[in-house]
């Protein structure tokens, strides 16, 4: 099954709060985005945002230029339905991040649990090309992946697990690591998943 079919099936058969990566309140993503110090008018893209309620929280916090990109149209439709009329304040992109040409610059690229699905080096390379094209110098690349002691799979798909150091090496010389830490995600079925969180800054 190709990845688009996989993710469309996930979001067509499960409610947003039933998936393992569901979080009621995106506390760590919000903390990392606040750490960037961007103004409320600067652009943020949530890559592979799915049905996450990060977009709701960003709008509630006053961010005015928010884009959500996902491979799954069903995921974005679920998010749009939840937001109701507010959905019109957001830019929506159904796209595969590994063949994505950013339509505008972003000051923050946020990815929670997307990059770790890229098990092919060529896909990771194309993802990072898109991130470099999207982020001007000083822009922030925020990534959350499963940690080295996290699960080897997510949503039934193999993942690559990272430490802050291995993620720094993967992201490459175009970015400087600004902060990193580990954290536990508790799934809706009370499982524990160990994550690595990193914030990188695009170098000149
Ligand atoms: C584990 S979920 C995480 C969703 C969201 N970031 C969150 O924290 O709730 C992974 C998401 O990445 C999306 N995705 C997977 N591969 C992708 C790709 N190549 N391009 C864009 N989105 C992708 C999936 O559709 C799914 O919504």
pLDDT given at position 48: 98
Q: Which two tokens stand for residue 101?
A: 């040409």
End-to-end CA distance of the chain: 40
Query: Which of 7, 68, 130 for a ligand 1 pocket mutation test, highest count of atoms within 8 Å of Cβ?
Result: 7
pTM to 2 decimal places: 0.98
Query: Which of 3, 50, 143, 183 for a ligand 1 pocket mutation test, highest count of atoms within 8 Å of Cβ?
Result: 50
Contact 143, 198 (CB under 8 A): yes
For ligand 1, the distance from its centroid to the CA atom of residue 48, given in whole angstroms, is: 4
**What residues are in contact with ligand 1 under a 6 Å CB criterion?**
3, 7, 21, 48-50, 52, 70-72, 75, 96-98, 112-114, 117, 154-155
Q: Which CATH class is domain 3-202?
A: alpha beta
Per-residue pLDDT of the chain (204 residues; tens, 9 = 90+): 899 999 999 999 999 999 999 999 999 999 999 999 999 999 999 999 999 999 999 999 999 999 999 999 999 999 999 999 999 999 999 999 999 999 999 999 999 999 999 999 999 999 999 999 999 999 999 999 999 999 999 999 999 999 999 999 999 999 999 999 999 999 999 999 999 999 999 998
Contact 116, 145 (CB under 8 A): yes
Spatial separation of the C-alpha atoms in residues 78 and 169, rounded to whole Å: 35
- Residues pairing with 71 in the sheet: none
The DSSP H or E segment spanning 78 is helix 73-83
- The residue ranges of every structural domain in the chain are 3-202
- CA quadruple 98, 101, 102, 103: dihedral positive or negative? negative
For ligand 1, the distance from its centroid to the CA atom of residue 11, given in whole angstroms, is: 11
Half-sphere exposure of 123 (CA within 13 A, CB side): 12
pLDDT given at position 1: 83
Alpha helix segments (H runs only) across 119-163: 121-134
């Amino acid at each position: 099954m190709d990845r688009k079919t996989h993710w469309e099936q996930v979001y067509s058969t499960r409610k947003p709060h039933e998936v393992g990566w569901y979080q009621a309140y995106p506390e760590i993503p919000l903390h990392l985005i606040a750490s960037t110090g961007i103004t409320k008018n600067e652009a943020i893209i949530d890559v592979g945002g799915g049905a996450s309620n990060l977009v709701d929280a960003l709008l509630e916090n006053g961010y005015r230029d928010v884009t959500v990109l996902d491979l799954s149209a069903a995921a974005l439709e679920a998010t749009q339905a939840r937001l109701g009329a507010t959905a019109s304040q957001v830019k929506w992109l159904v796209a595969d991040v590994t063949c994505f040409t950013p339509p505008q610059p972003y000051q923050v690229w946020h990815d929670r649990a997307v990059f770790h699905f890229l098990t092919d080096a060529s896909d990771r390379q194309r993802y990072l090309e898109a991130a470099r094209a999207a982020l001007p110098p000083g822009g922030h690349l925020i990534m959350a992946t499963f940690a080295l002691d996290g699960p080897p799979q997510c949503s039934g798909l193999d993942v690559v697990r990272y430490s802050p150091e291995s993620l720094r090496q993967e992201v490459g010389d175009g970015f400087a690591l600004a902060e990193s830490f580990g954290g536990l995600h508790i799934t809706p079925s009370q499982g524990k998943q160990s994550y690595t969180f990193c914030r990188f800054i695009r170098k000149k």
